[in-house]
Amino acid sequence: MFTKKPWRYSTTLVTLGAIVLGVVPVRATIASRTPGRSAIAQAETSLCRRVSVREGLIVRQRPDPNSPRIGSVEYNSAVYLVEGYRGIPGPDNRVWLEIVAPYPGYVSNGEVNGEGNLGPCTPGEGTATPPQLSTSPLCRKVNGEVAPQGIAVYSDASRFSTPRGNLPPNGLVLLRANSPAIADKNGESRSWVEITSPVEGFISTENLILCSGSPPATGQTPPVARPQGSRIPRGPLCRQVEPRVAPQGLAIRARPSEFSEYVGGVEPGGRMTLVENYRLIPDPNGNSRNWVEILAPYPGFVSADNLIMCP
């Protein structure tokens, strides 16, 4: 007989009353001991949930594993459900939940009658409604007309740095106060700005407008700092994502399988470095694709069928 663990939710969830409109993802350690009844009750009064699967979760545009990927949420990070949420059966025998933060979209809560991929947040976390981004002078919006696929968030002012997630078209971000725009560290013709919400990182400034819908006025865009050198992959081991074949970019996996843990991504046209003496690895699940191991932008495996030689 299957027994539910106290820190996991089943896919049958009750409707909750509190509403949370947006929040910066929080990382905290969940206590290992079983919480008391009052702690559980307090945690259940909010729409905050914490990712409980080690590989993290992918946020998608629709409750479907084949829907476009909006972003990803790391293990132990917080997500916020929509008010009046319900479990949505998907075509993959999984239950999906709609969320509003850190990205609006849908996440899989695991198989029907399974333990679920989300656990409660710590008592009291997420019960307060945070300030709305749209009222802040530091608020910016992703211009959906210029960037209809959204934009990526990176760990540094370079598209070759570690991806932190993706922002959907018309998504809102919060700039870091008194943080200047930074010239691209690879010398590319773009500038970057640091953000603190919905995730911390850097985004390209060319795709941003004010949250009111207008481009930032003169003087509202911070001055550009000097470039910091070049780290563009080059040489015989350099490969590039073919944007016509992979317009959404490529996922980097921990092992050569689409079911392996997601460890990052490379945008369309992005570059990577193969391992020395690389070889093509047939898909272990029988799919008609080959995989190849890479070293950069970070170690892992990508589908080799979507790569071309670097120019």
Residue 63 has pLDDT above 80, yes or no: yes
Looking at mean pLDDT, say which of 85-89, 183-187, 254-258 comes out highest: 85-89
Residue identified by tokens 């850097």 is 202
Query: What is the mean predicted confidence (pLDDT) over 54-60?
Result: 85
What letters, b where the CB count within 10 A reaches 16 and e where it falls short, cover 186-225?
Answer: beeeebbbbbebbbbbbbbbebbbebeeeeeeeeebbeee
Cα(61)–Cα(181) distance, integer angstroms: 30
Q: For residue 280, what pLDDT is reported?
A: 94
**pLDDT tens sequence across 255-287:** 888 766 656 677 788 888 999 899 999 988 777
User: Which residue segments constitute the domains of the chain, with CATH numbers given?
Assistant: 1-130 (no CATH), 133-225 (2.30.30.40), 238-309 (2.30.30.40)
Instruction: Residue 170: name the closest of 142, 147, 135, 151 by CA.
Output: 142
Residue 32: φ, ψ to 5°: -80, -20
End-to-end CA distance of the chain: 59
Q: Is pLDDT at 22 greater than 60 in this prediction?
A: no
My answer on whether omega of the bond before 63 falls inside 30° of 0, hence cis, is: no
Tell me which residue has tokens 């003169």.
218
Percentage helix, strand, coil for the chain under 3-state DSSP, each rounded to 5: 5, 35, 60
203-254 confidence digits (pLDDT tens): 988 888 887 654 444 334 443 333 333 345 678 899 999 988 887 778 777 7
pLDDT at residue 311 above 80? yes
- Choose the weakest-confidence range: 29-33, 44-48, 103-107: 29-33
Burial class (CB in 10 A: 0-12, 13-18, 19+), 261: middle
d(CA 43, CA 3): 21
For the chain, the residue count is: 311
Reported as half-sphere exposure (CB side, CA atoms, 13 A), residue 260 has a value of 18
The HSE-up count of residue 211 (CA atoms within 13 Å, CB side) is 14
Task: Say whether 43 sits in a helix, a strand or coil.
Answer: helix
Cβ 165 vs Cβ 155: under 8 Å: no
